[in-house]
Amino acid sequence: MREISKYWRCISLRSVGVVVEYNPLHNGHVFHLTSSKKSTNADVVIAVMSGQFLQRGEPAVVPKHVRTKLALQAGADLVIELPYSYSTQHASIFAKGAISILDSLKCDYVCFGSEEGKIETFYELIKQKKQLTSSINTSIRTFLDEGLSYPAAYSTALQKNLESSKLDVSLPNNILGIHYLEAIEHFDSRMEGRTIQRIAANYHDEETNHHSIASATAIRKILKGDNQSISDFVPCFTKDSIEEYINEYGALHSWNEYLPFLKYKLMTSTKEELEEIYEAVEGLERRVLHSVLNCLNFEELMTSIKTKRYTWTRIQRLLTHILTNTSKKEMASILEKDRVPYIRLLGMSSMGKTYLNTKKKLIDLPIYTTINQQNQKELSTDLKATHTYASMLSLDNQQKLIKTEYSLYPIIYDEKSNQFSRS
């Protein structure tokens, strides 16, 4: 009877998905992760995590193998990579990629952080939005013609057409939450949406205003050299991992370290080659080329390129695609598929392993644990991203980091001993 009871517990494991970057993982992330598990009564937490380059068009401060370990230590049971072709996108494609992975893994819930904190408000807005789709699209086009960026045009159009909605659509996590729920609907998924209200720090806050919670943006600012410790705002294992990475590899990753490579790429590319880069539109690549000649650092470059029409994030994403040499043709061939066609397993706990074993007959996508001749082409964009990401390091450290892509995953975490191993 005991074995039968154990069997039924296994096949009925309840799972909650979280979509994360952990750049780096801080106390607010731990709160979100533990609250997501508690609020859904989940047995398993599935973290879909961006790889080496992130949604705002920037390199992660530490590579994905370090952040995978942080996610597992914080309580994630499965860590799945959100591929480069989705992780470096605007909100709707980013959300669609993440939700498609969770849906393929037969996840029960997705729980996202938001400024709103009430899931009913999101569902009410989406219901109203479907009834006014034509009017909203017309408003978006009008605001774009007036020179607004797409995120601003989208947000303003929602505000104009959905005045009765209680959801503040000017806030970034609320907008992302809308896209998560719309993606669930798009895939006709059985998943349910849940949200946890963000506490203290907003997504883009640069200052640390709370005794234990700060945004990842503020923490990255500290890491760049502010005379303040991150100890109050991150778990001890995050602080230790960052220090270990600096000691082993010599530096953290930021755009300034890639600026010489970006300049080289721009100066050695033809006009036609730059026009073929993904997100190079309306001559934006020419503006980048003109600005890069006179800048001394990355902030100067961005300030000289920035316009009302193009957000800082949009420009950074273009620069990321220039750096990685990602073309419109390459991206189109990937995105023509309606969902991510594979699952790249970065790490798992014992509970995560049990979950995969019980669900494997229901999961109809390949789960990649190693890179081989059969899947190397499909993973080529992410492999290229890792090679690019490693380029700022010394030659021996480049080789060491690139080797992790081929030989380290999946990382196995033993919760009892707090030890990691290779599968």
Residues 6+ apart with CB under 8 A from 291: 301, 304, 305
Distances (CA, A) of 143 to 139, 184, 326: 6, 28, 29
Element (H, E) at 55: none
Which tokens belong to 124?
């009410």
**CA–CA separation, 267 and 271 (whole Å):** 10
**CA–CA separation, 82 and 102 (whole Å):** 10
Strands of 310-368 (E only): list them.
343-349, 367-368
What is the reported pLDDT for 8? Answer: 43
What is the dihedral sign for C-alpha 291, 295, 298, 304? negative
Q: What are the pLDDT tens digits along the chain (423 aa)? A: 455 444 445 568 999 999 999 999 999 999 999 999 999 999 999 999 999 999 999 999 999 999 999 999 999 999 999 999 999 999 999 999 999 999 999 999 999 999 999 999 999 999 999 999 999 999 999 998 888 888 889 999 999 998 778 899 999 999 999 999 999 999 999 999 999 998 754 544 554 455 566 677 777 777 766 545 778 889 999 999 999 999 999 999 999 999 999 999 999 999 999 999 999 998 888 899 889 888 999 999 999 998 888 889 999 999 999 999 999 999 999 999 999 999 999 999 999 999 999 999 999 999 999 999 899 999 999 999 999 999 999 999 999 999 999 999 999 999 999 999 986
**CA–CA separation, 138 and 170 (whole Å):** 19
**Within a 13 Å sphere around the CA of 147, how many CA atoms are in the beta-carbon half?**
3
Q: Is 382 left (phi over 0), alpha (psi -120 to 50) or beta?
A: alpha
Q: Which residues pair with 345 in a beta bridge?
A: 80
Contact 24, 73 (CB under 8 A): no
Strands of 32-130 (E only): list them.
44-50, 78-82, 109-114
What is the reported pLDDT for 219? Answer: 79
CA 173 to chain centre: 13
Distances (CA, A) of 387 to 90, 114, 193, 393, 404: 23, 34, 36, 11, 11
- Give me the residue label for tokens 């009892």: 416
**Burial group, residue 216, by CB count within 10 angstroms (0-12, 13-18, 19+):** buried
**CA–CA separation, 91 and 93 (whole Å):** 6
**CA–CA separation, 412 and 421 (whole Å):** 5
- Give me the residue label for tokens 């234990």: 212
Contact 28, 20 (CB under 8 A): no
In order of their start, the domains of the chain are 2-252+342-422 (3.40.50.620), 256-334 (no CATH)
Distances (CA, A) of 403 to 45, 95, 296, 331, 369: 28, 29, 32, 25, 14
**CA–CA separation, 13 and 291 (whole Å):** 54
Residues 6+ apart with CB under 8 A from 227: none
**CA–CA separation, 18 and 25 (whole Å):** 13
What is the reported pLDDT for 28? Answer: 94
Contact 109, 16 (CB under 8 A): yes
What is the reported pLDDT for 110? Answer: 99
Task: Quickly list H helices, 132-268.
Answer: 133-145, 150-161, 172-186, 216-223, 236-249, 255-267
**CA–CA separation, 94 and 92 (whole Å):** 5
Q: Which amino acid does the sequence have at 88?
A: T
What is the reported pLDDT for 200? Answer: 58
Determine how β-strand 411-414 pairs with β-strand 343-349.
Answer: parallel
- Give me the residue label for tokens 């959300």: 95
> CA-based angle 385:50:151, to the nearest 5?
100
Length of the chain: 423
